[in-house]
Amino acid sequence: MVNASYNALHGQFRLNGNPYSKDELKEVAYSLVKEGEDFERAIGDFLIDWLNDRPTISVQTSGSTGKPKSIVLQKRHMVNSACATGDFFHLRPGDTALLCLPATYVAGKMMLVRAMVLGLRLDYVSPSSNPLGTNSPFYDFSAMVPLQLKNSLEHLSCIGTLIVGGAPVNPEMLGLVRKKGVSTTIFETYGMTETITHIALKQVHPTAQLPETAFTVLPKVKISTDARGCLVIDAPEIAEGPVVTNDMVRIVSDLEFEWLGRYDNVINSGGVKLFPEQIEAKLGKVIESRFFVAGKKDAGLGQKLILVVEGNPNTDRLIEKIRQLPLLDKFEVPKHVFCVPQFKETASGKVQRSETLASIG
């Protein structure tokens, strides 16, 4: 791990090709806030907060698993997280990186921190759903959400190593990646704002025929489960105390775990525990549009499994395809399909399940 501090910029750091001293970068930040586009103002706001002398910074959670809230992070923890990522991926001073996530949230902020701490040459672009173009230069490292990955397949090989977070990367998307012959090494991440982005990763491309199912934790991260079977993270380098999650997992080893799904999403249908995220991974083979499964109150079962699909597909044909899926257990076949014109989303584009369910009654 490099000896780094939030009080200094690495000498190799570049932003959109330009070297800056700390004072010069402050001026750039003020200029972005005053004259930049919305996404640039978010970058400027963060840089101003980062470059002051305070040891902490306030960060907004995305709200994908609950009401958005503001939490306070230690800058030294953010530096430690950046160094751990640099060590894992063997990032070196002068390596190139692309910021295509909004700096409003921690994933985008940490791309900036990694660049300043590790001495990366960072370019930023508008955090659109399709951030890569025909003339995009090659970048050693970048981070995206699954939607950006899906829309960037034509030009993805201009990125050497890509981390994907915010939601699971489904098997169908990985099939498209393989079909395109993409040369990029892709990792799915596990983490949250409280752990300063990822504390565990799994390589999903290139892999053997079946991708890895277990996440491997970063160095100095210890994992366990609580009485509910939810993951507890002990990582003193990046958090003051243990982080208790609502993610149900299966511990594979001291360094590995399989993610089963959110505790608050588990469906108890007739005494059978159903994990929506596991079912969705199977249903993704036959559903092209966005979707999710959930539990709906039922007099006989307690909860019945339902499927919520964005758009207006032929539901009879869809159910027939679902019934033919070989790996789908009989309890995992939805009892009803609801179609919604458009899902409710957070500001960062993540689906809000509860709000979407409320819209269908």
Give 360's pLDDT tier (boundaries 50, 70, 90). confident
Give 65's pLDDT tier (boundaries 50, 70, 90). low
Spatial CA neighbour of 221 closest among 255, 260, 245: 255
Give 18's pLDDT tier (boundaries 50, 70, 90). very high
d(CA 260, CA 247): 7
The helix (H) or strand (E) run that includes residue 84 is helix 75-89
Q: Give the DSSP per-residue string, 1-36.
A: -----TTS--TT-EETTEE--HHHHHHHHHHHHHHS
Could you state, in order of their start, the residue ranges of all structural domains in the chain? 14-262, 266-360
User: What is the mean pLDDT of the segment spanning 291-314?
Assistant: 92
State the CATH architecture for 266-360: 2-Layer Sandwich (3.30)
User: What is the mean pLDDT of the segment spanning 277-302?
Assistant: 90
pLDDT tens digits for 162-177? Answer: 999 988 888 888 888 9
pLDDT at residue 41 greater than cutoff 70: yes
d(CA 211, CA 172): 12
User: What is the mean pLDDT of the segment spanning 195-211?
Assistant: 86
pLDDT at residue 310 greater than cutoff 70: yes
d(CA 114, CA 83): 7
Give 211's pLDDT tier (boundaries 50, 70, 90). low
User: What is the mean pLDDT of the segment spanning 16-34?
Assistant: 97
pLDDT at residue 94 greater than cutoff 80: yes
Spatial CA neighbour of 9 closest among 141, 124, 121, 119: 119
pLDDT at residue 1 greater than cutoff 60: no
pLDDT at residue 2 greater than cutoff 60: no
What residue ranges in 61-213 does DSSP mark as E strands? 70-74, 96-99, 121-124, 139-144, 159-164, 185-192, 197-205
Q: Give the DSSP per-residue string, 225-237.
A: E-TTSEEEEE-TT
d(CA 170, CA 273): 22
CATH classification of 14-262 is 3.40.50.12780, yes or no?
yes
Q: Say if CB 237 and CB 84 are below 8 A apart.
A: yes
Q: Among the ranges 125-129, 132-136, 139-143, 149-153, which has the highest mean pLDDT value?
A: 139-143
d(CA 104, CA 43): 8
Poorest-pLDDT segment among 192-206, 245-259, 347-361: 347-361
Matching residue, tokens 């751990």: 84
Q: What is the chain's mean pLDDT, rounded? A: 92
Give 292's pLDDT tier (boundaries 50, 70, 90). very high
Looking at residue 69, its pLDDT comes to 84
User: What is the mean pLDDT of the segment spanning 23-43?
Assistant: 97
